[in-house]
Structure 1
Amino acid sequence: MINFEFYNPARIIFGKDTELQAGAQIAKFGKRVLLHYGGGSVKANGVYDKVVKAIEEEGLFFMELGGVVPNPRLSLVREGIRLCRENNIDFVLAVGGGSVIDSAKAIAAGACYSGDIWDLYMDNSKLGELTKVLPVGVVLTIPAAGSESSTASVITNEEGWFKRAIGTEAIIPKFAILNPETSYTLPPYQTACGASDILAHLMERYFTQVSNVDFTDRLLEANIRTILNNAPLALKYPENYDIRAEIMWAGAVAHNNLLNTGRIGDWGSHDIEHEISGVYDIAHGAGLSIVFPAWMKYVYKQNVDKFIQFAQRVFNVDFSFDNKEQIVFEMIERLEAWYVRMGLPIRLSHANIGSDRLREMADKCTVGRTHVGNFQKLTADDVYEIYKLAL
């Protein structure tokens, strides 16, 4: 286990009707609010009306910026930055899922940054220049990205279709309201993509080359099994509060950095997937269900015993298989079967993606950096081979 610091100031407000507390929570930090959301789902399911009522009851000024799409766009972020500056906004409230939250974080940072916010996403070494950020709050409606209490934000630039991330404690939300009831109306595919995203956050952390991290290994394994068990049940019983609650809380804990402690995660699969969803605009969770099995097949020999442990503890693969490689590939088959059960693609061809842009995506993946990933440091050529395995 390596040295670590853990800090997460996000207040989690979990349970039924908690969105009614949004106004009171905002009032602790600001008086002029940018209400940021996506399409019509938050209005259709009633969350928007409840949040607006809560804001109005506190006597707060607010203005709206909707239109966030999956793989949130830099152009809308820049519009949000303009609105904040011109209207003296002092708080940004995200109502939605990870795309809305990531966009809100980018707006909150950009409103206080003297340069171009995109420069920070392309060059994370500049994050030290970010000395002030507007406070952000969240009303979560889609358990998936874990952005509600994380240090991360991912944005897509339409110019070149680059998808890049930043990570800084400055953008951790001040509070996150999590009511599992708000996820009842999610389409099955969106529920599945969210579960895949949560699972990926856990596996990115699990596959580390740091030894003697059994405590966090077991926390990760428990969280992974929670998603594996409950996500299919959510498809069958979409309005079961207890099932939705397990998934929503697991998603938050998966990405609040508690499970990073003492270890170095990989994150290569996320970087590889970002090129797919950046270019083809598919759901992030669907891209991850394609990339992760291919990544596993390519890197497992770097620490086969870690993969054996994962196979045994998470997927109950036993030693009746003749050799370690058979155990690993049996585990990958079981993971792929779970994705298929959830209705997710496990090959690029399943998402109607061919081989014509693989080299382009592999080269873009390493623009501005020498490699991606930590379990195995992957060059552009390695990424290209993983894309081919994913066909």
Structure 2
Amino acid sequence: MRNFNYSTPTQIFFGKDQINVLSEQIRIFGGSRVLLVYGGGSIKRIGLYDKVLEILKTNDLSLFELGGIDPNPRIESVRQGIKICRDNNLDFVLAVGGGSSIDCAKLIAAGFYYESDPWNLMIGKAKCEKTLPLGSILTLSATGSEMDNFSVISNLEAHQKIGLGNAVLVPKFSILDPTYTYSVPKKQTAAGTADIMSHTIENYFTVVKGAYLQSRLAEGILKTCIQYAPIALEDPENYEARANLMWSSSLAINGLLSYGKERNWSCHPMEHELSAYYDITHGEGLAILTPYWMEYVLNDATVEQFKDYGINVWGLKPNEDPYIIAQQAITKTREFFVSLGLPSTLRDVNIGEENLKVMAKAATKKGTIGEFRPLTTEDVYNIYKSAL
């Protein structure tokens, strides 16, 4: 296991009616004039929007809004949010929704203190130094943005979808009430589960030895998703299922599984190019790519970890040949995603051969990706091609 420094400064309020702490928490961080960032209107349909407004109004907090955040949040929305904050001297950003709204809110909070175009922060031309305080109310179990230091933003004009990691982006607090996910459609529940599992798998498969505990924790999260995603799809208001998926979402990417290991992922940078060019649902892209990536990186050096994955996650018999166990585990992974109603090929989401080479080049523009088995541009292209 490698050295690491671990801090999770986000205060989590988990469970029913935890929204009652909202005004108190905003006040703790000096907030009185709040930008509310949300997506396509689901928070209005479930009554959460009205509840937030009621709490803020009752506690003499001023509210300004930025709605309509896209599933792959756009840099244009970030620019608009920063302008609202500056024009109205706002001092707190509250994201209500899934990872897209939270990611957008994070860059708004950071861009408030940056004088030039916030896209420069994403592409590395400038560094986040300070942010407005940020809180979140989660309504979708998927990205883990409610408890991590990452923001993923798209610039469709440039065909770029980029992730930015910085400690100042971590929310001050997040309210996680599983009942707010009851109305999430089956497609989004399934895609969110694939995202949670992908975060976990990216942390699980590593060349670092001795991180035994992290691997067992990862297996537990994967088994939790396998156990509860079908239940949530069948019974959307099953509190136990929604609660377990919600907490899995946070734990999969808040550092718990990755510290002590090497954090250099493969499937996520490959999928970001799919979303940048075709604006597909992130979790669907991951569900497609992950089994093909597994097949591509399986070799004599990696087979033992796939064997552990098959035995400990999928319950396969340990006395089989390691390669047989590995192949069966990969098959079960693909079959599970399909059972949730997720696509299994790129053509299923209307992606053909036309941009495979340019996407592969973009995914590896800084060099090889992944450390479990480093992938070159040619490797990424081969995986894309096999996924057609």
Secondary structure at the aligned position of 1:385 is classed as: helix
Partner in structure 2 of residue 318 of structure 1:
317
Partner in structure 2 of residue 12 of structure 1:
12
Partner in structure 1 of residue 49 of structure 2:
48
Select between 65-74 and 16-25 the one with higher mean Cα deviation: 16-25
Tell me the amino acid that sits aligned with residue 231 of structure 1: A
Distance 1:318 1:266, change over 3 A: farther
Deviations 1:89-145 (A, max 9, x none): 11100000000000000100111113322122222xx56x32211111000000100
Secondary structure at the aligned position of 1:185 is classed as: coil
Partner in structure 2 of residue 64 of structure 1:
65
Partner in structure 2 of residue 252 of structure 1:
250
Q: How many percent of aligned residue pairs carry the same amino acid?
A: 45
In structure 1, distance between residues paired with 2:264 and 2:329:
19
1:375 aligns with 2:376: no
In structure 2, distance between residues paired with 1:71 and 1:27:
30
Tell me the amino acid that sits aligned with residue 368 of structure 2: H
Contact 2:156 2:277 in 1 (8 A): no
In structure 2, distance between residues paired with 1:122 and 1:297:
32
Report the RMSD for the aligned CA atoms in angstroms. 1.2
Partner in structure 1 of residue 172 of structure 2:
174
Secondary structure at the aligned position of 1:13 is classed as: strand
Residue 390 of structure 1 and its aligned partner are, at CA, apart by 0.9
Residue 187 of structure 1 and its aligned partner are, at CA, apart by 0.6
In structure 1, distance between residues paired with 2:273 and 2:128:
26
Tell me the amino acid that sits aligned with residue 313 of structure 1: N
Tell me the amino acid that sits aligned with residue 102 of structure 2: I
1:274-289 matched pairs, under 5 angstroms: 274-289=272-287
In structure 1, distance between residues paired with 2:373 and 2:132:
37
1:211 aligns with 2:215: no
Contact 1:37 1:68 in 2 (8 A): yes
1:159 aligns with 2:160: no
Residue 295 of structure 1 and its aligned partner are, at CA, apart by 0.8
Deviations 1:177-213 (A, max 9, x none): 0100000011111100111110111001001110011
Tell me the amino acid that sits aligned with residue 12 of structure 1: I
Secondary structure at the aligned position of 1:258 is classed as: coil
Tell me the amino acid that sits aligned with residue 377 of structure 1: P
Secondary structure at the aligned position of 1:144 is classed as: coil
Contact 1:208 1:266 in 2 (8 A): no
Deviations 1:66-101 (A, max 9, x none): 010111000111111111112111110000000000
In structure 2, distance between residues paired with 1:183 and 1:70:
16
Alignment counterpart, residue 383 of structure 2, candidates 351, 366, 386: 386
Partner in structure 1 of residue 290 of structure 2:
292
Contact 1:276 1:287 in 2 (8 A): yes
Question: Structure 1: which 5+ residue stretches go unaligned?
Answer: none
In structure 1, distance between residues paired with 2:120 and 2:374:
24
In structure 2, distance between residues paired with 1:354 and 1:171:
36
In structure 2, distance between residues paired with 1:299 and 1:100:
34
Secondary structure at the aligned position of 1:27 is classed as: helix
Deviations 1:245-286 (A, max 9, x none): 111111111111111121113411000001111211111000
1:59-98 matched pairs, under 5 angstroms: 59-98=60-99
Tell me the amino acid that sits aligned with residue 374 of structure 1: E
Question: Would you say how many aligned residue pairs link Structure 1 and Structure 2?
Answer: 386
In structure 2, distance between residues paired with 1:312 and 1:122:
41
Tell me the amino acid that sits aligned with residue 99 of structure 1: S
In structure 2, distance between residues paired with 1:182 and 1:363:
40
Secondary structure at the aligned position of 1:211 is classed as: coil
Partner in structure 2 of residue 328 of structure 1:
326
In structure 2, distance between residues paired with 1:197 and 1:103:
18
Partner in structure 1 of residue 190 of structure 2:
192
Contact 2:196 2:252 in 1 (8 A): yes
Contact 2:297 2:373 in 1 (8 A): yes
Secondary structure at the aligned position of 2:151 is classed as: strand
Deviations 1:351-381 (A, max 9, x none): 22211211121112123x1122221222211
Residue 382 of structure 1 and its aligned partner are, at CA, apart by 1.2
1:221 aligns with 2:226: no
Partner in structure 2 of residue 119 of structure 1:
120
Tell me the amino acid that sits aligned with residue 245 of structure 2: I
Contact 1:23 1:57 in 2 (8 A): no
Secondary structure at the aligned position of 1:235 is classed as: helix
Contact 2:6 2:255 in 1 (8 A): yes
Contact 1:38 1:66 in 2 (8 A): yes
Secondary structure at the aligned position of 2:313 is classed as: helix
Residue 320 of structure 1 and its aligned partner are, at CA, apart by 4.9
Contact 1:307 1:328 in 2 (8 A): yes
Secondary structure at the aligned position of 2:323 is classed as: helix
Residue 42 of structure 1 and its aligned partner are, at CA, apart by 0.6
In structure 2, distance between residues paired with 1:388 and 1:268:
16
